[in-house]
Amino acid sequence: MQVFPFVVVAWILGVGLYGVVTSRHLVHQIVCLIVVQSSTYVLLLGVGYVTGGVAPYFFDVPNHTPAVDPVVQACALTDVVVEAAVTAMLLAFAIQAYKRFGTLDPQELADLKG
């Protein structure tokens, strides 16, 4: 249990990269990029976890109860926003690429020139 979440993080990263490299459809590639980015959320939250800690919200819990680290949660929140913005831009590019070149296969797109 000391290292199992990090093994899962490495697995998700590897599987997502495999999807990106061997993909034949631009939208499939974008979804695999989403999977790769989601591995970083699990990594961030895994680094900041404290065994036996509560969530860092003290509305109904006394003020100095041992809690998990809140800074990595703020980082993970920013990460999710960035993922949404990057995916929207990539999809806009994919639509324009399809309109210009007529194909959504990244391995064919690499050969076209202009």
Partner 1 sequence: MNTPYTVPVVMMQALQITLLVLVAAGATAVVLIRAGVRQVLMLSIYGVLLAVLFLAFQAPDVTLSELVVGAVALPVILLLTLAKVRKREQ
Partner 2 sequence: MTPRQRRWIFLVAGAGLVAFYLWGLTGLPGFGNYPGPYGFAILRVAVAQTNATGVVSAINFEYRGFDTVGEEFILFVAAAGVATVLRRLRGERERSAAGEAAGRDVPPTSSAVRMVALLFTGPVVLAGWWLASHAQTNPSGGFQGGVLLATAFILIYLSGEFLAFKRLSPANLTDVVEAVGAGGFVAIGLSAVAMGLPYLKNFLPLGQVPGAVSSSGTIALISFFVGIEVAAAFILIVGELLDQTLLIRQGGR
Q: Which residues bind partner 1 (CB under 8 A)?
A: 1, 4-5, 8, 11-12, 15-16, 18-19, 25, 27-28, 30-32, 34-35, 38-39, 41-42, 45-46, 49-57, 61, 65-68, 73, 76-77, 80-81, 83-84, 87-88, 91, 94-95, 98-99, 104
Residues 6+ apart with CB under 8 A from 19: 28, 29, 31, 32, 35
How far is the C-alpha of 82 from the C-alpha of 69, rounded, in Å? 21
Question: Can you tell me which of 25, 49, 101, 108 binds partner 2, judged by CB under 8 A?
Answer: 49
Residue 44 engages partner 2 in binding (rule: CB under 8 A): no
How far is the C-alpha of 72 from the C-alpha of 100, rounded, in Å? 42
Residue 71 engages partner 2 in binding (rule: CB under 8 A): yes
34 binding partner (options partner 1, partner 2, none; Cβ < 5 to 8 Å by kind):
partner 1
Residues 6+ apart with CB under 8 A from 97: 26, 104, 109
60, two tokens: 């109904």
Name residue 41's amino acid: Y
At closest approach, how far in Å is the CB of 28 from partner 2?
Answer: 14
